[in-house]
């Protein structure tokens, strides 16, 4: 009986992850929500980043900010960060915990657009993404698996 329950829970978690991946594939890219996403990169180095000229290699615009937000079991460190407006922010997301995590950057409710990095980052793995915030303000982020404990804010100045 216990094994059957575990299998059902695993199937539900996998289905939710698949739906989240499909929903994320429909969004992203450049939008008017003040967040421009360049892509995500997995720990093995594969990525979908393109230069402004369409070639591999990332953002060719001048100036970027590098930021590391560590995912621990049920918290981000740091949980509150400040970044400059109109600069590419390269975020490295190591998962130092044993549980699965992700980083979901939320838009303001009236904008209706969100961005999620890699859907699942296993313990010991690292996710990377590049984001450009084009509007000043405060943007919230969370781990979809550990809300309401695993949350934070990005202040764009």
- φ, ψ at 38 (rounded to 5°): -90, -20
Q: What rounded mean pLDDT belongs to the chain?
A: 72
Share of the chain above pLDDT 70, in %: 54
Which range in 3-7, 111-115, 126-130 is most confidently predicted, on average pLDDT?
Answer: 126-130
Integer Cα distance of 61 and 70 in angstroms? 26
* Per-residue confidence (pLDDT) for residue 53, from 0 to 100: 37
Task: State the pLDDT confidence band at 149, using cuts at 50, 70 and 90.
Answer: very high
* pLDDT, tens digit (0-9, with 9 covering 90-100), for 20-54: 443 443 333 444 556 565 544 434 333 433 334 33
pLDDT of residue 20: 45
Higher-confidence position of 87 and 29: 87
- Pairwise CA distance, residues 50 & 18, whole Å: 25
3-state secondary structure of 60: coil
CB 105 within 8 A of CB 35: yes
Question: Measured on CA atoms in the order 23, 24, 27, 33, is the torsion positive or negative?
Answer: positive
Q: What is the pTM of this model?
A: 0.62
Q: Give the Cα separation of 137 and 46 in Å (integer).
A: 32
Q: What pLDDT is attached to residue 37?
A: 55
Is residue 124 very low, low, confident or very high in pLDDT (cuts 50, 70, 90)?
Answer: very high
CB proximity list for 63: less than 8 A, separation 6 or greater: 87, 88
CATH number for the domain formed by residue range(s) 2-156: 2.60.40.420
The Cα–Cα gap between 86 and 45 comes to: 26
């Amino acid at each position: 009986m216990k094994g059957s329950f575990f299998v059902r829970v695993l199937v539900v978690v996998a289905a939710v992850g698949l739906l989240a991946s499909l929903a994320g594939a429909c969004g992203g890219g450049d939008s008017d929500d003040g967040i421009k996403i360049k892509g995500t990169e997995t720990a093995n180095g594969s990525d979908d980043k393109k230069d402004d000229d369409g070639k591999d290699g990332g953002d060719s615009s001048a100036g970027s900010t590098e930021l590391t937000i560590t995912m621990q079991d049920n918290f981000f460190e740091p949980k509150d960060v400040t970044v400059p407006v109109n600069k590419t922010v390269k975020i490295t997301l190591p998962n130092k915990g044993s549980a699965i995590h992700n980083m979901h950057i939320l838009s303001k409710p009236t904008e209706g657009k969100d961005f999620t990095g890699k859907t699942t980052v296993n313990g010991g793995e690292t996710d990377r993404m590049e984001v450009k915030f084009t509007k000043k303000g405060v943007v919230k982020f969370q781990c979809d698996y550990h809300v309401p404990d695993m949350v934070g804010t990005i202040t764009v100045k």
